[in-house]
Amino acid sequence: AQSVTQPDIHITVSEGASLELRCNYSYGATPYLFWYVQSPGQGLQLLLKYFSGDTLVQGIKGFEAEFKRSQSSFNLRKPSVHWSDAAEYFCAVQTGANNLFFGTGTRLTVIP
């Protein structure tokens, strides 16, 4: 059975600091992986996705993620966080066409 683990429920960083959000997955086949962001009262927005190829994926808003098969991880990174990045972040694995299994999310707080 598939699973997605985001071990950090809540992370607080200072504006301008670097950020890494962790995601570990368990899936029987080759995973297709995603990171989404949800601002308060909003739907989800796709940050980036990994299907195959280069294991370092670039996304929108300056985010990137690295797929590490040996560690079953797909961590999200940003070199310098902006106050507008405060939101909830979800990692997800595809389990069927347009069917995503989401992690429980990591809430990011940014301190000025």
Partner 1 sequence: KAGVTQTPRYLIKTRGQQVTLSCSPISGHRSVSWYQQTPGQGLQFLFEYFSETQRNKGNFPGRFSGRQFSNSRSEMNVSTLELGDSALYLCASSLVGGTLTGELFFGEGSRLTVL
The CB density around residue 29, as the number of other CB atoms within 10 Å, is 9
- Which residue of 22, 49, 77, 107 would you call a contact of partner 1, by CB under 8 A? 49
The torsion of the CA quartet 99, 94, 43, 86, rounded to 10 degrees, works out to 160
Assess 60 for contact with partner 1 (CB under 8 A).
no
Stretch that binds partner 1, among 20-28, 31-39, 63-71, 72-80 (CB under 8 A): 31-39
On whether the CB atoms of residues 57 and 78 are closer than 8 A, the answer is no
Cα–Cα distance measured from residue 82 to residue 13, given in angstroms and rounded to the nearest whole number: 10
Among 14, 54, 70, 97, binds partner 1 (CB under 8 A): 97
Among the listed ranges 7-15, 23-31, 44-52, 63-71, the one in contact with partner 1 (CB under 8 A) is 44-52
